[in-house]
Amino acid sequence: MAPTSLAPDQAHARLHELTVIDVRTHGEYASGHIAGAHNIPLDHLDTAVPVLKSAAERGDLVMVCASGARSAQACATLTAHGIPAATLTGGTIAWSRHGHDLHRATDARGVWPMDRQVRFVAGSLILAGLAVGQRRAAARWLSVGVAGGLVYSAVSGSCAMARVLAKLPLNQPRATDLDATLAALATMGQ
């Protein structure tokens, strides 16, 4: 079963009947998400499979991230477990470009979206490699390595740096947040 996708306007029209799962980091979710979306970061998705299987039996799931890349990965993971899910085409970026509101938590910490975090860290490492490389030529290899990683990321559609950054404390949900999300999903529609 191939994952399907929903355009922002299609998802908006069906929002009342969809279970929206936002697979971005907790910080990204807090900085702006679709109202009613449940936050289950992509690296915690395997923990949520039983609850998501139950939720999918009650109604359609739509997976959301910033651009659609991580939600497509989430759909592939769920499909491997026999759980049908759609992805929001273009993610929350496209959602807001189509004029739909994003809900922001009152305690949002202002965490940057993951792509912005990656660009900042990669750019900083490249600049550091070039600057230190003025005195120690071997330091330029840091810039070469990061640049090569960015090219590989673009070609493969995966990003090792994003996976590492997602593990930082500011991008992690508190255990109680994830537990509460899973409990809310488990009791929906009962």
**Which one is catalytic: 48, 65, 146, 159?**
65
Give CA–CA dist 190/187, Å, rounded.
6
The answer to whether the beta carbons of residues 88 and 71 sit under 8 Å apart is yes
Catalogue the long-range contacts made by 134-139 (C-beta closer than 8 Å, 24 or more residues apart): none
**Residue 121: strand, helix, or coil:** helix
Which residues share a beta bridge with 73?
Answer: none
Nearest to 2 by CA among 61, 71, 75: 75
Q: Is 159 a catalytic residue?
A: no
Whose structure tokens read 């922002």? 8
Q: How far apart are CA 125 and CA 142, in angstroms?
A: 7
Q: Which residues are annotated as catalytic?
A: 65
